[in-house]
Structure 1
Amino acid sequence: MQQDEFSDPFEVLESVELAVIVLKVGADGLPRYSAINSKAREFTEFEYKDFAGKTALELYGGATGRRALNLHLSVIESRQEATYDIVLPTEHKPKNLRTTLRPVFNDQGAVVYLVGSSADVTSEMERDEALELTKMALEKAEEASQAKERFLANMSHEIRTPMNGILGMCELLKETELNEQQALFANTIFNSANALLSVINDILDFSKIKADKISLHDAPFSLLDLVQDVGTLLWAKAAYKGIELRTDYPEEMPREFVGDASKVRQILMNLLGNAIKFTEQGNVTLRVSFNESEPGCPLRIQVSDTGIGIDKEQLSWIFSAFEQVNRQVTRVVEGTGLGLAITKALVERMGGQISVSSTPGQGTVFTVSLNVKPLEDGDPGKQAAVPFLQDNRKALRANSGTSALDLKPEELAGLRVLIAEDNKTNQLVLRKMLKSSGADLCFAENGQLAVDFYMSSPRDLILMDLSMPVLGGLEATRLIRAHEKASGLAECPIVAFTANAQPSDVEACLAAGMNDFLAKPFRKIELLARMIQHAKGGVSHWAGAPSE
């Protein structure tokens, strides 16, 4: 656009909705403000006498004035329009203006005016800044969550490894000739270590729930077998206190359902364990019912007890974290106070509901309603519905009078076993636990040695730790499977044998080609049962995998 001269006082600019500025280029080549319309005066809070005849540097001064003047001069030099953002200092809140500045030429082609239109983008920039800050905060929160998850996994591993030594050696000690006092000491150590392990598991479960890391894995399962298994596991605990543990599963009720069996099991274990803990006499009863006409949650589970009960004012926080009923007895009753908080979170994650009613001194009833459907005859996977446990290993664990020797460790005689384990204490525990079995044991202190040993001398069974120097258990397993495939060898059973007890570890082991999973710390009876199972060519159902 070309123009010889503007008329003054540019009344036409006053009707323009945009903020408009006009600068006249003087004989010295400096652009000076000639006019700004009412919208621009509103933005800048200047009057005519404040800006007329001044350069940007004279008007604003400082860094803002220098930047604005340089931008004006660059448009004159380039002879092309330019768009830029600038922050104007005002008496109130600083304003972010986005200006498009155009040169105006005379007939000789010289730049005589600069005409700019500006928009207030303060709110837009504040919004973008807020979004960027939110994005950064979310990224930091995700990083913190991942760091927390790594920390918990590492701490779980570091705690479980020495716990395996404590529990393993204590169990071996209990099998020796002990006098009454020594047996008392050994049992106290063993029970205290198990209590510590329970606390560790509760904290890990609660941390995963808080981080929303709990996922559901629905599959066909036998609810009847699951209920019977939980009852068997807790029977000894109830009998020790002199109370009766009852389970009521109606004969006409469906037995097979589709859902996450490990979550249902954890809910039952938490509620029954909690009821036994707070009941000193009488009974604890587990009742299961199914009502197809009940919308949403047809499966109902009730756990009732004849224990101390819960005061009315305590019911409002009974499902809160780190709380226990009857605070005055918190030094008598062990536990983290996380069991009911974890149970409520699991029930709600499965789309169900949990409620509680209680009469102090008479007992408490917890009611869980779950949206778990029965397995129909025509459903895919009907044949896949199996008992939650494939054998009686956990029942044996629950029976305090059962010895590991009942599993006939002599069945392992001559079995060539490769054990990849870098911890010296755990190597000693394994040597002692398997001494009477007659198995041929070979130890490798890292994954690379395990691969080398297996390639030079094939084995019948491999117990593989995950976290080892030089080469980890997953990488070692992949190399062994690749060697077997290339050599045309049958696959050797590989049991993950590790303190990495997260569900993701189970999945990683299965994906790497392992056949089973044994989490540390373990009992001798578990180790022998698992080895005998694979020695007989048994198919693992991952019954020993930890629940989420």
Structure 2
Amino acid sequence: MNILLLWNNPLLVEKISRLQGLDDFCFHFLPHGDFVGLDKLMNSFHISAIFTEHDRSHNATAVQALADQYPHLPLIAIGTVSFEQAMLDSMNTAYWDYLISSSISTVTLRKAILSNRQRVDLMEKARWGENQVRKVMDYSNSLLARISHEVRTPMNAVIGMAEMLYDTGPDSKQRFYIETIRESGVHVLTLFNDLLDYSNIESNNIPIYNRPFNLHECLSDVIVEVMEQARHKRLELLFDIEPSLPKQFLGDVLRLRQVVMHLMENALKFTSHGSVCLRARAFGKENKQWLCIEVEDTGEGIKPGQIHSLFKPYIETLNEKESIKGIGLGLTICDRLVKKMNGKIEVESQPGKGSRFSLFLPYHSPKNTPANPPDPKLKGKKVLLLSHDTLLEPILKKYMAYNGMEFETMTIGNDFSGLSDWLQPFDLLITHLRTNIKIDLKLVDIVREQKQIPHLLIKDREKMGDKLIVIRKDTVILPKPLYYKDLFDSIRATLDKQADRLNTIGQSLQPDEHMAEYHPLDILVADDNVINQRILMSVLNRYGYQVRVADNGREAIESLERRMYDVVFMDIQMPLVDGIEATNIIRTKFSKKKQPYIVALTAGQAMPVKTDYIKKGFDDLLYKPVEGKVLAQLLLQIPRRER
């Protein structure tokens, strides 16, 4: 066993040389600072341990550099009693062990070498075991991802076909069957997504990115995604984002959206009546600010004894009257992701009253300017709210105060005799238009008879397609949930008696079975899966489009060489030439005039960020299973290429 001794004390060298019983060790002596000799010796011999002298000339930097250069090699100090504390302190960073020079003997030297070599052997075994565990986990993740992909492809087909069948006008009984098929398919995909995410988090395979994103758009997208679920359960859906928050934040928008989406879906799942509210605000001092996103519901609530176990795997809080199925990984995944983003999740709950999940993240904004600065033209305007909606009132009050507007509320019954006097001092009237409550709609005419005042009606959403309705130049119906920008665009337009200009919203072309006639496009679908081809073709045929297909990226390129296409739907994973490679070839091979609009299609378990695919040459991104309405709206935005 080769042992290296680094020191300049000849007496110590002589003392060690005279020790008996060390024939199985070969000692090599080098003076301190001889780095050239050190490199040569380390390259020539397999050194098992290094002893270094610790005296007045001790160079902590050099010793630390030596420890860093050979981290798996025992570095043992030898010094006098007066340096014992210094050597002990250095064991936290550089030394593995130390010996007192006056007590050096065959036994102490042999013990120091062998005990520290045992540590090396144990560390190597631990590293080997860790590598084996990592290999097993990588194999398990790879296997799970492969199984997930094999399940996801036919499941996407099941969901896609169910949606197409739903659009054929089935009767109520058939609709029930179709909805059950679709919901079950989505549930299976969700389970696989959770398993994959949890597996990747456990093996530390999920990176967290820090790049600019639009917080308002991110949260608005979540609201849109859960809107139908809330409407189906007759739940009030509220969106309360501080208007003073900046437009741009730095962070991982994909993971943030995933966490907020899960919290919202959980809130809706465990709430049978009442409301679910998504809030966003900032708090803290300038040197340490936090972004707080809250999801509050009026559901069953959580028992105090269950809160501490919510974020543990395989824990599910069950409603006593209803068994909620699941594998209980969602909140665990949320908690792990938020911690990776240097944040935390807190829970407050009262059984029978509801719960509030608060997500706290470090506040990082490239430009700390409000996305919606106060409008000075609105300052001093007086607003009256006539409504039974106590949930919406505090949100409206806060928004009005932000713009310097005076805000009052009043509750009235069916007696409107004094309405003219009540309205007199106000510039704007806001009322609630409830579903199937005729008196709310009648109030529009009553107000017009009493006083010509700008009037904004907040309407309960009856269906997903509900949009803003202009009744008169100063009267508008706005569906809930309210978005700050839409609300104040409507307020400004009604106050200016120019509400008709709001009609430009939603006046663009609407998708229907004749869409291909008034918006013709030549379309190519590149996908190696026949079922996926059929689904996409059927959806496009529904809008009147005839489609050509390619089984891989190479065929897509060859098809583009033969004719011009306006849009190509490009699957990412294909044999021979995949979607990313094919897109790169198209961007370099064809002139700008002949390049089609390329839409990436992905069935990955985690929704990728669209900007990542745009950087790779794509124009847009769709997730499988592709929804017909989403696809149609995208097609309406794609211009036909000049022939």
What is the TM-score when the length of structure 2 is the normalising length?
Answer: 0.57
Instruction: Identify the residue that residue 462 of structure 1 maps to in structure 2.
Output: 568
Question: What is the CA–CA distance in structure 2 between the aligned matches of 1:508 and 1:298, rounded to whole Å?
Answer: 27
Q: Which letter maps to 2:356?
A: V
Instruction: Report whether the alignment pairs 1:491 with 2:595.
Output: yes
Instruction: Report whether the alignment pairs 1:399 with 2:464.
Output: yes
Instruction: Give the conservation status (yes or no) of the 8 Å contact 2:276–2:297.
Output: yes
Instruction: Give the conservation status (yes or no) of the 8 Å contact 1:160–1:520.
Output: no
Instruction: Give the conservation status (yes or no) of the 8 Å contact 1:409–1:528.
Output: no
Question: What is the CA–CA distance in structure 2 between the aligned matches of 1:522 and 1:256, rounded to whole Å?
Answer: 29
| Matched length | 416
Instruction: Identify the residue that residue 369 of structure 1 maps to in structure 2.
Output: 360
Instruction: Give the conservation status (yes or no) of the 8 Å contact 1:284–1:303.
Output: yes
Alignment of 1:524-543 (within 5 A): 524-535=628-639
CA shift in 2, pair 1:378/1:318, >3 Å: closer
Instruction: Identify the residue that residue 64 of structure 1 maps to in structure 2.
Output: none
Instruction: Report whether the alignment pairs 1:316 with 2:316.
Output: no
Larger-Rg structure: 1
Question: What is the CA–CA distance in structure 2 between the aligned matches of 1:170 and 1:242, rounded to whole Å?
Answer: 24
Instruction: Report whether the alignment pairs 1:345 with 2:336.
Output: yes
Deviations 1:435-456 (A, max 9, x none): 1333341112233222222222
Instruction: Identify the residue that residue 528 of structure 2 maps to in structure 1.
Output: 422
Question: What is the CA–CA distance in structure 2 between the aligned matches of 1:472 and 1:225, rounded to whole Å?
Answer: 31
- Segments of structure 1 that go 5 or more residues without pairing to the other structure are 1-14, 21-36, 45-81, 86-116, 380-395, 538-548
Deviation, structure 1 residue 173: 1.0
Question: What is the CA–CA distance in structure 1 between the aligned matches of 2:536 and 2:638, rounded to whole Å?
Answer: 17
Instruction: Identify the residue that residue 72 of structure 1 maps to in structure 2.
Output: none
CA shift in 2, pair 1:533/1:156, >3 Å: farther
Deviation, structure 1 residue 314: 0.9
Instruction: Give the conservation status (yes or no) of the 8 Å contact 2:300–2:319.
Output: no
Q: Which letter maps to 2:291?
A: L
Q: Which letter maps to 2:318?
A: N
Instruction: Report whether the alignment pairs 1:441 with 2:441.
Output: no
Deviations 1:178-231 (A, max 9, x none): 233222211211122122222222222222222223333333333334333323
Instruction: Report whether the alignment pairs 1:520 with 2:624.
Output: yes
Matched residue of 1:286: which SS? strand
Instruction: Identify the residue that residue 87 of structure 2 maps to in structure 1.
Output: none
Alignment of 1:97-496 (within 5 A): 120=110, 122-123=114-115, 125-293=117-285, 296-326=288-318, 332-376=323-367, 399=464, 406-408=510-512, 410-413=514-517, 414-484=520-590, 490-496=594-600
Instruction: Give the conservation status (yes or no) of the 8 Å contact 2:245–2:369.
Output: no
Q: Which letter maps to 1:164?
A: N
Question: What is the CA–CA distance in structure 2 between the aligned matches of 1:123 and 1:176, rounded to whole Å?
Answer: 78
Q: Which letter maps to 1:181?
A: K
Q: Which letter maps to 2:160?
A: G
Deviation, structure 1 residue 503: 6.2
Question: What is the CA–CA distance in structure 1 between the aligned matches of 2:608 and 2:273, rounded to whole Å?
Answer: 41
Q: Which deviates the most, 438-447 or 167-176? A: 438-447
Instruction: Give the conservation status (yes or no) of the 8 Å contact 1:501–1:520.
Output: no
Instruction: Identify the residue that residue 26 of structure 1 maps to in structure 2.
Output: none
Deviation, structure 1 residue 462: 1.3
Instruction: Give the conservation status (yes or no) of the 8 Å contact 1:298–1:371.
Output: yes
Question: What is the CA–CA distance in structure 1 between the aligned matches of 2:555 and 2:523, rounded to whole Å?
Answer: 14
Q: Which letter maps to 2:339?
A: E
Deviation, structure 1 residue 170: 0.9
Q: Which deviates the most, 219-228 or 419-428? A: 219-228
How many percent of aligned residue pairs carry the same amino acid?
30
CA shift in 2, pair 1:295/1:352, >3 Å: farther
Instruction: Give the conservation status (yes or no) of the 8 Å contact 1:156–1:500.
Output: no
What is the TM-score when the length of structure 1 is the normalising length?
Answer: 0.66
Instruction: Give the conservation status (yes or no) of the 8 Å contact 1:498–1:520.
Output: yes
Deviations 1:142-179 (A, max 9, x none): 43343344334323322221122111111111122423
Q: Which deviates the most, 314-323 or 195-204? A: 195-204
Instruction: Identify the residue that residue 381 of structure 2 maps to in structure 1.
Output: none
Question: What is the CA–CA distance in structure 1 between the aligned matches of 2:224 and 2:607, rounded to whole Å?
Answer: 24
Between the two structures, name the one with larger relative contact order (CA 8 Å, sep ≥ 6).
1
